[in-house]
Homo-oligomer: A and B are copies of this chain.
Amino acid sequence: MTERAATEQDVRAVAARSREAAAELAPLGRAAKDAALHAMADALVAATDAVLAANAKDVANGRDTGIGESLIDRLALDADRVAAMAQGLRDVAALPDPVGEVLRGYTQPNGLQIRQLRVPFGVVAIIYEARPNVTVDAAGLALKSGNAALLRGSGSAYESNSVLVDVLAAAAEKAGLPRDSVLLVPGTDRASVGHLLKARGLVDLIIPRGGAGLINYVVQNATVPVIETGVGNVHVYVDAAADLEVAERIVVNSKTSRVSVCNSAETLLVHAAIADEFLPRITGALQSAGVVLHGDDAFAALDGVLPATDEDWEREYLSLDMAARVVADVDEAIAHIRRWSSGHTEAIVTRDLDVAQRFVARVDSAAVMVNASTRFTDGGEFGFGAEIGISTQKMHARGPMGLAELTSTKWVVTGAGHTR
């Protein structure tokens, strides 16, 4: 892969085009946007050969530079994957339009009519890694919510993304939308990301999707508002009053059903009162599923459990590893979570309502599960129909982000010559 440099001027010029497109997109009604999404889906399927040819170049470049087979797997497309991306656009078209929803509306005693409406953000920039499907997903979600999409994928998917954006932009234009509704940020070097992060006034929102390193870089350097996504150091606490069969099922599912995703569990906390019975049972169940436990003294006394360090409490493994600790009570579990959690998702397993309520009220995370797997923190599982990411910050959006989270609001106040 050759790194393409882009100057601040290059990046700002493209962002300014996005901003012009956003002004045209904002007042559009649902029918125009849905028609464009269907046109984009059709164009994508029709361009399958061109997309796959570009993708083959990226894959060859990736192999040449040794990016590793798991990255190649994320990067590589085939006709089925292209068809799935097109179907994703049609699915987004089928969702309700969030724009124009009246969130609050009332008439003041003086007769002023006050309404708070959902409106598009404007220009939404998404920074992501080597998954070309995100190019299409993000463009579709941004457009449906009335935003211009300014996309910054990984350099290792540059050829694929260039063709995909060309196809989507041309189809949008043919359907009557601005061609610049979907744009790729120029450059594949880190400096060009830096220019994007500073484009305040041109870009309204940046959503980084990727590992902790990328997200931290964005947060440290952006002057454009950012929504942090996706880092999940997720805990399951098994209370003294848990149904142990339910607890075993939830812990195993939370850890093992898909280890590479942010809502999978990384740390198990167990109430001391049930340790004698539950520790051998859950250790056996997890080890049978291939999990390597990193435990405190109580857990480490069991066969095959490695001793845990602070690094284990802090870490998002994204692998078949799990940290494990015995706590004195729910308050020690809450304190452990406050100390180490990334604020994504935590679960409690208990039949005690007071304990459940205490846990829910005092755990400060985007999602708190009561007697359910942590894997349910997901836009699909929440019924959103689509998801742009999972926010782990408290501002604007927290938890799974659907179309509504890609909107801002506007107050419209109607009077009859009212003055103050």
Of B26, B200, B366, the residue contacting A411 (CB under 8 A) is B366
> A106 CA to B362 CA in the complex, in Å?
22
A31 interface contact, C-beta 8 A: no
A379-420 with Cβ < 8 A to chain B: 381-383, 393-396, 398-400, 408-420
Contacts of A416 in B (CB 8 A): 246, 371
Chain B residues positioned under 8 Å from A394 (CB to CB): 121-122, 204-205, 225, 408
Q: How many residues of A contact B (CB 8 A)?
A: 68
A362 pairs with B417, CB closer than 8 A: no
Report whether B253 and A419 are in contact in the complex, using a CB–CB cutoff of 8 Å: yes
Q: Are A410 and B26 in contact (CB under 8 A)?
A: no
Q: How far is the CA of A112 from the CA of B381 in the complex (A)?
A: 9
B364 touches A413 (CB 8 A): no
Are B219 and A200 closer than 8 Å at their CB atoms? Answer: yes
Cα–Cα, bound, A366→B114 (Å): 13
Chain A residues near B (Cβ < 8 Å): 23, 26-27, 106, 108, 112, 114, 116, 119, 121-122, 200, 204-205, 219-220, 223, 225, 227, 243, 245-246, 249-250, 253-254, 257, 338, 358, 360-362, 364-373, 375-377, 381-383, 393-396, 398-400, 408-420
| Inter-subunit contact B417/A367 (CB<8 Å) | no
**A245 vs B419: C-alpha distance in the bound complex, in angstroms?**
12
Check B410–A376 contact: CB distance below 8 A: no
- Chain A interface, DSSP helix/strand/loop, else mixed: mixed
Q: Can you name the residue of chain B whose Cβ is closest to the Cβ of A416? A: B371
CB distance from A8 to the nearest CB of B (A): 15
14 interchain pairs, CB-CB under 8 A: A27-B358, A106-B383, A121-B394, A122-B364, A122-B394, A253-B420, A254-B419, A366-B411, A367-B413, A368-B411, A370-B414, A371-B414, A373-B420, A381-B420
- From known contacts A225-B395, A253-B420, A257-B419, infer whether A413 and B23 are also in contact, taking CB-CB under 8 Å: no
A192 → B minimal CB distance (Å) = 20
Inter-chain contact A246/B417, CB cutoff 8 Å: yes
Residues from chain B with Cβ under 8 Å of A116 in the complex: 399
CB distance from A250 to the nearest CB of B (A): 6
Q: Which of A257, A399, A400 has the most CB of B within 10 A?
A: A399
Q: Which of B26, B220, B372, B417 contacts A418 (CB 8 A)?
A: B372
Whether the Cβ atoms of A372 and B250 lie closer than 8 Å is: no
A372 x B410 contact (CB < 8 A): no
Q: Are A372 and B200 in contact (CB under 8 A)?
A: no
CB contacts (< 8 Å) of A413 on chain B: these are: 367-370, 372, 376-377
Given contacts A257-B419, A361-B26, contact A396 B399 (CB under 8 A): no
**Pair B398/A396 contact, Cβ less than 8 Å:** no
Determine the chain B residues whose CB is within 8 A of the CB of A393 once the complex forms.
225
Residue of chain B at shortest CB distance from A109: B383
Decide if A410 touches B362 in the complex (CB within 8 Å): no
Which of B364, B381, B398, B414 is close to A108, meaning CB atoms less than 8 Å apart?
B381
B371 engages A249 (CB within 8 Å): no
Give 12 new A-B contacts, CB below 8 A, not counting A227-B395, A250-B417: A26-B362, A114-B383, A116-B399, A200-B219, A220-B223, A249-B419, A369-B415, A371-B414, A371-B415, A373-B418, A377-B413, A400-B411
